[in-house]
Chain A
Amino acid sequence: MEVTRSKPDDDFRIKQLRAQQMLRGDLEGDDLQEYVEQRLLLTKFEDAQNWARRNAIWPLGFGLACCALEMITVIGSPRNDLARFGAEVIRFSPRQADMLILSGRVSIKMAPVIRRIYDQMLEPKWVISMGACASSAGMFNNYALVAGADKFLPVDVYVPGCPPRPEALMYGIIKLQDKITSDPNLGWRERYQSQGTEEYPNVRPEAEPSEQDA
Chain B
Amino acid sequence: MPDATGLELVAQRVREAVADDAVVGTHHAYGRGSLEVAPARVHDVLTHLRDADEEPYGVLASLHGCDYLPSEPRLGIHYELLSMQSRERLNVKTRVTVEDPHVPTVTDLFPTANFHEREVYDFFGVVFDGHPDMRRILMPEDYEGHPQRRDFPMGGEPVLFTFNEHKLPRWYD
Contact = CB atoms under 8 A, between A and B. Distances in A.
Nearest to B141: A109
Contacts of B157: 137, 141, 147-148
B92 to A, nearest CB: 29
Contacts of B140: 108-109
A17 to B, nearest CB: 64
A141 B153 CA distance: 12
B139 A147 contact: no
A210 interface: no
A143 B152 CA distance: 9
B154 interface: yes
Contact of B159 (A109, A136, A142, A151): A136
Contacts of B153: 143
A142 B155 contact: yes
Contacts of A137: 156-157
Contacts of A140: 156
B159 A143 contact: no
B171 interface: yes
A13 B130 CA distance: 89
B71 to A, nearest CB: 24
Given A108-B140, A109-B139, A109-B140, A141 B147 contact: no
Contacts of A145: 156
A24 to B, nearest CB: 66
Nearest to B159: A136
Q: Which of B143, B147, B156 has the most CB of A within 10 A?
A: B156
Contacts of B156: 137, 140-143, 145, 147
Contact of B154 (A109, A142, A147, A151): A142
B94 to A, nearest CB: 26
Contacts of A65: none
Interface string A102-114: 0000001100000
Nearest to A110: B140
A143 B154 CA distance: 6
Contact of B155 (A136, A143, A151): A143
A109 B137 CA distance: 11
Contacts of A52: none
Nearest to A132: B159
Interface in B140-173: 140, 143, 147, 152-157, 159, 171
A162 interface: no
A145 B153 CA distance: 14
B139 A144 contact: yes
16 contacts: A108-B140, A108-B143, A109-B140, A136-B159, A141-B157, A141-B159, A142-B154, A143-B147, A143-B153, A143-B154, A144-B139, A144-B147, A145-B156, A147-B157, A148-B157, A151-B171
Pairs A-B, 8 closest by C-beta atoms: A143-B155, A141-B156, A147-B157, A143-B147, A142-B155, A142-B156, A109-B140, A136-B159
Given A108-B139, A148-B171, A151-B171, 8 more contacts: A109-B140, A136-B159, A141-B156, A142-B154, A143-B153, A144-B147, A147-B156, A147-B157
